[in-house]
Structure 1
Amino acid sequence: MFSSKKRLDNAYKNAKVIDFDDDSKFILFSDCHRGDNSFADDFANNRNIYFHALKHYYDQGFQYCELGDGDELWENLSFDSILNAHRNVYMLMKLFHKRNRLHMIWGNHDMVYRNPNYVKKHLSTYFEPKVDENIELFSNITYHEGLVLKHCMTGQELFLTHGHQADWWNFLFWKWSRFMVRVLWKPLNVMGIADPTSPAKNYKELIKIERRTKKWITENNNLITIVGHTHRPRFPEPGNIAFFNDGSCVHPRSITGIEIENGAISLIKWQIATKDDGTLQIVKDLLEGPVKLLDYKTE
């Protein structure tokens, strides 16, 4: 699989299919890059916003689809240090999982999760020092390269994947990129120097990746495709190429995501806002939509 087209074809062909209807509710986040709470942990700045948002979606009965790069396993050697840094987040995700409302996709920064044996070994349980034994975490969880949400009544499909299939370097040479990040870019990141191989920090690469993805979408009957990877939110108007991007959870002081509810799709942002009395609150802003999914359907 040497071309973007073949890699995206493969992700779509092997995607897990999830049936849904107009009563179904999904929240899509990606690129959380949950780390170890060190200076290089980009997620740490937004973890309270993320936890509050995810708690809201859990209480409201949403299903959670994480579109890759949830865990930062390039900068960090093990999942244990990440779990210990953000335990409250994983306990909440565990609740989603226990109710079959958690759907996980692997990206280039957590590509080790495409190995079921790795997932079983590291994510099934965690050690709880209070009771001195292993406790269940994500038992029997499966990570996917892609998901297809298929509407029960209309047959309309939404293809969800991380999006690095259109980024040949970060798909084929992810182990080399991981090595470079660990030995070079992590310490430089602390000093504010960006990794030039990351499409989120290299505009020319970002444009190339988006162009390849759009080409694939047009060749597949304008299939609604929702990705992450570049960290740049995208929400097209009906009639344009149906290329969506949920953004990331490591924007400065905010997180973005995509909601699917009542048969419609929206781009949202959660951030901290100041109230008139000077106190702070976490609020959700609607950036785009809602637009009916059927408005994107092509015959």
Structure 2
Amino acid sequence: MSSQFRLDRAYKKAKVIPFDDDSKFILFSDCHRGDNSFADEFANNRNIYFHAMRYYLNEGFTYCELGDGDELWENLKFETILRTHKNVYELLQMFYADNRLEMIWGNHDMVYRDPKHVKKNLSSYFDHKTDQEVPLFPGIKYNEAIVLQHKNTEQEVFMLHGHQADFMNYTGWKINRFLVRVLWKPLQVIGISDPTSPAKNYKETIRIERRIKKWIANNNNLLTIIGHTHRPRFPEAGELALFNDGSCVHPRSITGIEIENGSITLIKWQIATTDDGILKIIRVPLEGPQNLSDFITE
């Protein structure tokens, strides 16, 4: 089964969401929420992420998480992650209650492709304070891919994690999970990086991007947004329309993609210092805004 076949299948089975120029979406991926150990890369940026998410909640954005939200290779149980980052999940609950939460599974949370696993682990949790089961995300569904379809222009925005173009992280994900859990997590604590990760392997990142670019070229330059490699990407109009929202585990910052007013923008949230020595979290546009219509191929 080739990467082109897997990408085709993800597109054909994608959840379709209509949108227009009044719609607002924020895309993050690769949060890798963990257990607050030295291996939990999300822990360093959780305050930045929480502040950014609260901003998007108040501004009426729909949150789309493009995979690897929960770090379920290094951690056996979601319950551990939930207890560690409870405030984050309470915020996600607010998006979900307002029908503004869309979730995609990646390789590190690939167990979520099984609806039974999702229902068992994410519908509710046991509250030790009240000794009762409390609703978390009852009825939530994870998708392999999502297509945003513009109501007027019918332009499509194809969103997925991107590991469909990475054989070992899609077909052989259980092998990689075993290696990460048993071997690389202990080594990561002392500073040795996992060489199986495309985020740490530049050559593998290039290969993955090349395969997805080939698929985009064969599909009328369909605007496609991925994560997986952790490398932010924002092409110029007229280039192959492969975007990447980056990750939430960059050193001291997180990156994402906003879709608003019919435009797309690559953004970064980071901690900045004011002249009087006050630390504050700020939003920094990196690329764009660029009209989505600029990527329509006739």
TM-score, scaled to structure 1: 0.99
Distance 2:224 2:254 in 1: 20
Shift of 1:101: 0.3
Q: Shift in Å at residue 73 of structure 1?
A: 0.0
Q: Take 1:59 and 1:131, find their aligned partners in 2: how far apart are those partners?
A: 30
Q: Give the Cα–Cα distance (whole angstroms) in 1 for the partners of residues 11 and 94 of structure 2.
A: 28
Secondary structure at 1:120's aligned position in 2? helix
Does 2:28 match 1:46? no
Q: Secondary structure at the match of 2:63?
A: strand
> 1:12, CA displacement in angstroms?
0.4
- How do 1:201-216 residues align onto structure 2 when only pairs under 5 Å count? 201-216=200-215
- Which residue in the other structure is 2:256 paired with? 257
Q: What's the counterpart of residue 54 of structure 2?
A: 55
Q: Show the counterpart of 1:195.
A: 194
Is 1:82 the equivalent of 2:81?
yes
Matches of 2:182 and 2:48 in 1, distance apart? 30
Partner of 1:135: 134
Q: Distance in 2 between matches of 1:135 and 1:275?
A: 42
> For 1:73-112, what aligned pairs fall within 5 Å after superposition?
73-112=72-111
Q: Which amino acid aligns with 2:226?
A: V
Alignment of 1:1-299 (within 5 A): 2-299=1-298
SS class of match (1:238): coil
The DSSP-based 3-state class of the residue aligned with 2:234 is coil
Paired AA for residue 198 in structure 2: P
Q: Which whole-Å deviations, capped at 9, do the CAs of 1:99-154 have from their partners, x for residues lacking one? A: 11000000000000000000000000011111110110001000000000000011
Q: Secondary structure at the match of 1:271?
A: strand
Describe the SS at the equivalent of 1:234.
coil
Q: Distance in 2 between matches of 1:7 and 1:102?
A: 25
CA distance in 2, matches of 1:279, 1:264: 33
Q: Shift of the alpha carbon at 1:274?
A: 0.3
1:267 CA displacement: 0.1
Identity among equivalent positions (%) equals 70
Amino acid at match of 1:206: T
SS at match of 1:70: coil
Cα deviation for residue 279 of structure 1 reads 1.1
1:193-246 CA-to-partner distances (Å, cap 9, x unmatched) read 111110000111111000000000000000000000000000000000000000
Q: Distance in 2 between matches of 1:7 and 1:96?
A: 30
Offset of 1:78 from its aligned partner?
Answer: 0.3
Structure 1: runs of 5 or more not aligned: none
Separation in 2 of the partners of 1:266 and 1:102? 20
CA distance in 2 between partners of 1:206 and 1:237 (Å): 20
1:46 and 1:145 mapped to 2: Cα distance? 26
Deviation at 1:277, TM superposition (A): 1.0
Q: Aligned partner of 2:85: which letter? A: H
Q: Secondary structure at the match of 2:96?
A: helix
* SS at 1:81 equivalent: helix
Structure 2 distance, partners of 1:225, 1:292, is 14
The separation in 2 between residues aligned to 1:200 and 1:192, in whole angstroms, is 15
CA shift for structure 1 position 252: 0.3
Taking the aligned partners of 2:93 and 2:148, their CA distance within structure 1 comes to 22
1:191 partner letter: I
Q: After the TM superposition, which segments of 4 or more aligned residues of structure 1 sit over 6 Å from their partners?
A: none
Q: Secondary structure at the match of 1:249?
A: coil
Q: Tell me the number of residue pairs that the alignment of Structure 1 and Structure 2 aligns.
A: 298
What is the identity, as a one-letter code, of the residue corresponding to 2:182? V
